């Protein structure tokens, strides 16, 4: 029994396909998943509790930030990639079956290559490769790496077969070194194997003065010894264009065609010329097709001809799902077509940017006390927080292929710094003399009750004395019991309970008022694309004489 966290003991089951039966490497894999199972397996688990909407702002920003890691909504590209990887792993093992001698033949050929120093040497000529290769190309932020990691995570990384004393590595993922060095990639391979199995290949081979050819030969043999199911090379655009590229691509071809190891190469559009430099190179990356992932398209929903029901486009379905994960206290505003269009224009459908705009906009809405998402807030976040990727997004808007390639691998902005800044702003608010902590003397239940009442459109200034009075008169009551008492006081004529003058809301605070308040619309018109009149018209609050005349005429 294995004690390594990466290694699982083999548990065999019938794969249900005749070609895969009688092959321990395939029978030890998880069952082939249906489309519904793939969606369930890949969908991110977001812990959403509506009660968290009313907790302190400082804690809410941490919950909201978790969306960056937790939210994942599978789309058609993801399902297609999972299907291809599932086939590649299993097909690759068909030609390396440990139960019919095929694996031993591959290993004997590998030993011959080490002895001769020639990757094309062999001892047994009847060894057949069933491996496939694939290239995945897409802009930074389109979800290549995160999707691949989620798909690979549905498999155990390594499986121990007690009968044959073989530890099978189902998948191995490497990042191409930033210097594009073939030797560095070999070092990364040995290090990755050591991390999974606790071996010492790095010390034994990588740290010795072996040449690149010897390292590549050793690398191919170790891949066979440990029955690597698929080798994934990410950031392939880093391959050096000054000599190393051709040697490395030839090696990948050898891994697939001779060693029998499936290979997936992943990169940005800058890697596309690597595979298109000549006809042979183009074929190298297309053994099982080359997937070119473009940003999500902003397509309208269409009616399903079979059912007659409206079928949401991927963009609409994706944004509808994401829109539901809001921890804002005035988030009852539906996702309008205008806001969705703005969201797309700012993000250009790049999934990472779509989610980051959504997260950062919520954080800004909390800081500004607007507590809802608006076109203004999304635009401000784009202008202030996402400047590093403006060139890439401008290139996508231009539809110019050369500009898109030029800016395709810009680093996605990290929001750690923004989180720290926002936390400090919120902390400053909490320490302000007018903060709820000071007003309610640290009574957390009073704060929560205040926030619940504000979410019900009660005036924040009017309910402060009522909440204090309720806790003073009824200290043993629960919040559920106090709520109707305070609402009853709140709905009484104001002169009976509050002698102070009606509070005046300063213009700079109009953004905190309800969405249908004219003052809120005025605050939006100052910086946004729509005037007060246009906002009223979008909300259907302007009487159209033309429509009326057409109706009555």
Strands 302-303, 133-138: pairing is unpaired
Is there a domain that residue 502 lies in?
Answer: no
Q: Are residues 362 and 471 in the same domain?
A: no
* 311 and 249, same domain (yes or no): no
162-215 per-position pLDDT tens digit: 998 999 999 999 988 877 777 888 889 999 999 999 999 888 887 777 777 788
For the segment 301-333, what is each residue's pLDDT rounded down to a tens digit?
Answer: 888 778 878 888 999 999 999 999 999 988 877
Which neighbouring-strand residues pair with 263?
133, 231
343 lies in the same domain as 403:
yes
Quickly state the pLDDT bin for 31 (edges 50, 70, 90). very high
Mean pLDDT of all residues in 46-69: 89
Quick: pLDDT tens for 230-241. 999 998 887 755
Identify the pLDDT of residue 498: 47
* Cβ-contact 334, 327 below 8 angstroms: no
501/399: higher pLDDT:
399
Quote the pLDDT of residue 412. Answer: 58
Cβ(89)–Cβ(29) below 8 Å: yes
Residue written as tokens 């401008």?
A: 394
Specify whether 351 is located in the same domain as 480. Answer: no
Q: Does residue 268 sit in the same domain as residue 185? A: yes
pLDDT of residue 375: 92
Instruction: Tell me if 387 sits within 8 A of 85, measured CB to CB.
Output: no
Query: Would you say 388 and 411 are in contact if contact means Cβ atoms under 8 Å apart?
Result: yes
The answer to whether residues 393 and 473 belong to one domain is no
The Cα–Cα gap between 243 and 476 comes to 79
Nearest to 142 by CA among 327, 393, 374, 338: 393
Residues 248 and 323 in one domain: no
> Residue 154 burial (CB < 10 Å; 0-12/13-18/19+)?
middle
221 and 307 in a single domain? The answer is no
| Same-domain pairing of 365 and 317 | yes
Does 308 reside within a domain?
A: yes
Which pLDDT score, from 0 to 100, does residue 538 have?
Answer: 67
How far is it, in rounded angstroms, from Cα 74 to Cα 150? 10
Residue 292 lies in a domain: no
State which of 370, 400, 416 marks the end of a domain: 416
What rounded mean pLDDT belongs to the chain?
80
**365 within a domain of the structure (yes/no):** yes
Structurally, the chain folds into a number of domains equal to 4
Question: Residue 487: which pLDDT band, with cuts at 50, 70 and 90?
Answer: confident
Q: In the predicted model, is pLDDT for residue 67 greater than 90?
A: yes
Instruction: Give all strands of the β-sheet with 133-138 in edge-to-edge order.
Output: 172-175, 231-234, 263-267, 133-138, 290-293
For the segment 335-388, what is each residue's pLDDT rounded down to a tens digit?
A: 999 999 999 999 999 999 999 999 999 999 998 888 999 999 999 999 988 888
CATH of the domain at 241: 3.40.50
Tell me the per-residue pLDDT of 383-430, one tens digit each, with 9 for 90 and over.
Answer: 988 888 898 899 889 888 888 777 766 665 565 666 666 666 666 655
| Of 262, 286, 310, the domain-final residue | 286
User: Residue 449 to residues 7, 97, 140, 422, 471: CA-CA distances in angstroms?
Assistant: 50, 65, 44, 24, 11
Query: Do both 391 and 452 map to the same domain?
Result: no
Residues 233 and 325 in one domain: no
pTM: 0.76
Using alpha carbons only, how large is the chain's radius of gyration in Å? 30
pLDDT computed for residue 199 by the predictor: 92
Q: What is the residue whose two structure tokens read 């005046």?
A: 504
418 contacts 381 by C-beta, under 8 angstroms: no
Q: Is 38 exposed, middle or buried (0-12, 13-18, 19+ CB in 10 A)?
A: buried
pLDDT the model gives residue 105: 59
Per the structure, the complete domain to which residue 447 belongs is given by: 441-496
Domain boundary among 380, 400, 416: 416
Per-residue pLDDT, 410: 62
Strand 158-161 to strand 166-169: parallel, antiparallel, or no bridges (unpaired)?
A: antiparallel
What is the rounded distance in angstroms from the CA atom of residue 46 to the CA atom of residue 225?
40
The predicted structure's pLDDT at residue 427: 61
pLDDT at site 244: 59
State residue 431's pLDDT score: 55
Whether 247 is in a domain gets the answer yes
Query: What is the edge-to-edge ordering of all strands in the sheet holding 166-169?
Result: 7-9, 158-161, 166-169
Residue 60 lies in a domain: no
Residue 426 lies in a domain: no
- Tokens representing 383 are 């202008």
Q: What's residue 497's pLDDT?
A: 46
Q: Is residue 89 part of a domain?
A: yes
Average pLDDT over residues 469-478: 86
Strand 231-234 relative to strand 263-267, pairing? parallel
Is the domain of 226 the same as that of 316?
A: no
Mean pLDDT of 539-546: 69
Q: pLDDT tens for residues 259-315? A: 788 999 998 887 776 665 543 444 444 456 778 898 999 988 888 778 878 888 999
Residue 281 pLDDT: 44
- Residue 144: is its pLDDT beyond 60? yes
């Amino acid at each position: 029994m294995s004690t390594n966290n990466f290694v699982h003991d083999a548990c065999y089951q019938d794969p249900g396909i005749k070609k895969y039966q009688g092959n321990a490497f395939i029978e030890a894999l998880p069952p082939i998943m249906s489309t519904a199972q793939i969606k369930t397996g890949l969908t991110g688990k977001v812990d959403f509790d509506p009660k968290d909407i009313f907790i302190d702002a400082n804690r809410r920003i941490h919950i909201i930030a978790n969306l960056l890691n937790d939210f994942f909504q599978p789309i058609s590209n993801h399902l297609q990639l999972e299907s291809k990887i599932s086939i590649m792993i299993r097909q690759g093992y068909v030609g390396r079956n440990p139960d019919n001698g095929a694996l031993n033949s591959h290993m004997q050929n590998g030993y011959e290559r080490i002895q001769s120093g020639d990757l094309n040497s062999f001892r047994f000529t009847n060894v057949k490769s069933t491996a496939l290769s694939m290239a995945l190309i897409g802009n930074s932020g389109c979800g290549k790496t995160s999707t691949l990691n989620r798909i690979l995570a549905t498999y155990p990384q390594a499986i121990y077969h007690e009968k044959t004393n073989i530890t099978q590595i189902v998948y191995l993922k490497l990042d191409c070194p930033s210097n594009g060095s073939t030797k560095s990639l070999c070092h990364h391979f040995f290090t990755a194997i050591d991390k999974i199995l606790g071996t010492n290949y790095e010390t034994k081979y990588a740290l010795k003065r072996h040449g690149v050819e010897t390292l590549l030969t050793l690398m191919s043999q170790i891949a066979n010894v440990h029955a690597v199911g698929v080798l994934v090379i990410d950031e392939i655009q880093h391959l050096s264009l000054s000599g190393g590229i051709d040697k490395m691509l030839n090696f990948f071809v050898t891994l697939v065609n001779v060693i029998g190891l499936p290979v997936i190469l992943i990169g940005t559009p800058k890697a596309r010329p690597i595979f298109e430099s000549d006809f042979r190179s183009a074929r190298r990356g297309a053994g099982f097709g080359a997937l070119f992932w473009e940003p999500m398209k902003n397509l309208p929903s269409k009616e399903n001809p079979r059912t007659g029901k409206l079928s949401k486009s991927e963009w609409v379905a994706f944004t509808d799902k994401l829109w539901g994960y809001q921890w804002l206290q005035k988030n009852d505003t539906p996702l309008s077509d205008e806001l969705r269009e703005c969201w797309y224009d700012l993000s250009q459908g790049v999934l990472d940017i779509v989610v980051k705009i959504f997260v950062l906009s919520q954080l800004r809405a909390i800081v500004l006390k607007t507590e809802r998402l608006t076109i203004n807030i999304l635009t401000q976040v784009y202008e202030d927080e996402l400047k590093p990727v403006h060139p890439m997004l401008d290139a996508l808007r231009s539809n110019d292929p050369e500009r898109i390639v030029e800016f395709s691998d810009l680093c996605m902005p990290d929001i750690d710094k923004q989180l720290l800044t926002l936390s400090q702003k919120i902390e400053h608010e909490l320490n302000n003399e007018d903060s709820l902590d000071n007003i309610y003397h640290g009574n957390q239940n009073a704060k929560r009750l205040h926030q619940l009442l504000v979410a019900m459109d009660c005036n924040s200034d009017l309910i402060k004395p009522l909440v204090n009075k309720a806790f003073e008169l009824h200290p043993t009551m629960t919040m559920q019991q106090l709520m109707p008492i305070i609402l009853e006081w709140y709905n009484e004529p104001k002169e009976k309970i509050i002698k102070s003058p009606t509070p005046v809301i300063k213009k700079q605070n109009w953004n905190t008022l309800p969405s249908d308040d004219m003052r809120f619309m005025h605050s939006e018109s100052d910086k946004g694309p729509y005037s007060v009149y246009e906002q009223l018209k979008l909300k259907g609050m302007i009487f159209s004489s033309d429509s009326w005349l057409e109706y009555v005429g």
